Amino acid sequence: MPFLQQLYASIREQELALTNFSREEKEWFIQNQFQTQHQYYCSHYNTESFDIVYFCDEKAGRFFVDYWDHEIRVVDIALMPKFRNRGIASYLLECLFNKADTTGRKVSIHVERHNKAKQLYERLGFKQKSEADDIYLLMERAVEACP
């Protein structure tokens, strides 16, 4: 849990830099939001597929996936800053695509409208399916026929 909270803090760092919160207020905010997110994930998704990503024996990130009958939902994919832009997320998603294609399931993910990762998802074949709300888009990758 400490690693997951540290990872969550790294994801929110830029956003919190724009606030006038004190260091203590930022720490409280991160702790509160992390706990809320974790409880939501545990109560709404299959927590058996919540994996810590390792790179060269070091904790690099998390890859939370939920498997449904006709769809695989990427609940969350996040990497620590020093592991970003190294192809790790692409590799994880491409492995998931192989599993999805062999089982005839599409892959979906929610992404914030202005998240830089949206470009990665589009490059990997995700298309916008719908707008979940003012912040999130639902993106989907269709099943590809196996050779």
Mean of pLDDT over the chain: 93
Query: Using an 8 Å Cβ cutoff, are 118 and 111 in contact?
Result: yes
The structural domains of the chain, with segments of one domain joined by +, span 1-44, 46-147
For 3-18, the pLDDT digits (tens) are: 999 999 999 998 899 9
In angstroms, the CA 92 to CA 61 distance is 11
The pTM assigned to this predicted structure is 0.89
pLDDT at 147 over 60: no
Examine the pLDDT at 146 and tell me if it is beyond 70.
no
* CATH superfamily membership of 46-147: Gcn5-related N-acetyltransferase (GNAT) (3.40.630.30)
- 24-61 pLDDT, tens per residue? 999 999 999 999 999 999 999 987 789 999 999 999 99
CB 78 within 8 A of CB 9: no
